[in-house]
Amino acid sequence: MTQYKCVSYILLWNIITAVALVDRQLHTYSEDARNYGQDKTESLTGSFPFLMPSVSPKTPDLYLCTPIKVDPTTSYYIVGYKPNATMNTAHHMLLYGCGEPGSTRLTWNCGEMSKSTEEETGSPCGPQSHSQILYAWARDAPRLDLPPGVGFKVGKNSQTKYLVLQVHYAHVDQFKDGSTDDSGIFLQYTEKPLTKLAGTLLLGTDGVIPPMKTEHMEAACEITENKTIHPFAYRTHTHGLGKVVAGYRVRSNARGVQEWTLLGKRDPLTPQMFYNVEDSSPIVTGDFVAARCTMKSTRHRNTEIGPTNEDEMCNFYLMYYVDHGEPLDMKYCFSQGPPYYYWANPDTGLHNIPDKDASIL
């Protein structure tokens, strides 16, 4: 299919179009503590606590972001993530790698619900800035350690100059008494140069789920860059209507018939951690990556893609590495979703499509 431009659907994944930055520099707030990599008690490997700075959210379904500036004089390689959160407090967390943050503030509202609040708003990353998702967490998922020798490069000689933590607070009753939250992630990193650089590709859709129906939300993109990627982990995410999310590598064989290789399939209402892929064979130029979310509505209304618990999401994250060279320039793969987009549409370039029943666990 024709690759959809990320900006067209950026609202769906809370990478909202940002207001112009008033100041290109962050406020100075304990830079020695907040600058990533500043504490070098270990010469090669360390752990950095990237946590919300004791916030007290008051608005349900609030998305809050906070940034750290990466030390620009050193290359760091993130090799693991240890979450510091529970699903009773945080609906989900995302870690973004940015060229610039979406605001100059210590924290800001970085979700679609921003229009109903008086707080400063903006996207996680700044307008026209480099933006990629480095990690995602939900539903009490455990820590993630990348394969040996694999890391996300940030800092010097990287497009990632800032890290931005986004936390979605679906429910805020526990903060009505003034209680605060420090949900976040302990970043495990090394300064030892790594040649296997990690990347994350997010597949997702727009679209509408009809009332009292089962709907299949699908997305696919062709790998057009001259790179070989090695998938090693995947993660699924929906809200309450999701029954199963599956991801595939699609490749044409010598007879021109497309073969669909399962990368991963999960019930998205189980812990939303990164799981080992079902098949770690390389994905190369000309292959497609594809994802399908099976949604079952018991509601007497349409359910649209959106950020709140009353909306839905269809996400399949594919984590991979490249052996030398840079990760894909393509960070996101989106479709319009139902009722406009399906794999079976004549213009997608897809055929030999798995039966919809094949998505059922």
Binding residue positions for Cu(2+):
91-92, 168, 237, 239, 313
Catalytic residue among 1, 113, 168, 330: 168
Catalytic residue among 93, 132, 237, 319: 237
> From residue 101, how far is each of 63, 93, 94, 131, 206 by CA, in Å?
15, 16, 14, 9, 25
- Using a 10 angstrom Cβ sphere, with 0-12 exposed, 13-18 middle and 19 or more buried, the burial of residue 38 is middle
300 assigned to active site: no
The CA distance from 284 to 133, in Å, is: 21
Q: Which of 1, 93, 113, 166 is catalytic?
A: 166
Helix (H) or strand (E) holding 6: helix 6-9
Q: Considering 52, 113, 132, 239, which one is annotated as catalytic? A: 239
Q: Which residue is catalytic, options 52, 217, 295, 313?
A: 313
Examine the residue annotation and report whether 230 is marked as an active-site residue of this protein: no
User: How many Å is the maximal CA-CA distance in the chain?
Assistant: 66
Binding residues: 91-92, 168, 237, 239, 313
Q: Does the annotation mark 188 as catalytic? A: no
Q: Is 351 a catalytic residue?
A: no
Stated length of the chain = 361
92 labelled catalytic = yes
Q: How far is CA 70 from CA 98, 127, 145, 162, in A?
A: 10, 19, 21, 5
Q: Is 159 in the active site? A: no
Q: Does residue 168 have an active-site annotation?
A: yes
Question: Is the bond leading into 101 cis (omega within 30 degrees of zero)?
Answer: no
Three-state SS string across 129-147, please? CCEEEEEEEECCCCCEECC
Residue of 1, 52, 91, 295 marked catalytic: 91
Any idea which residues carry the catalytic annotation? 91-92, 166, 168, 237, 239, 313
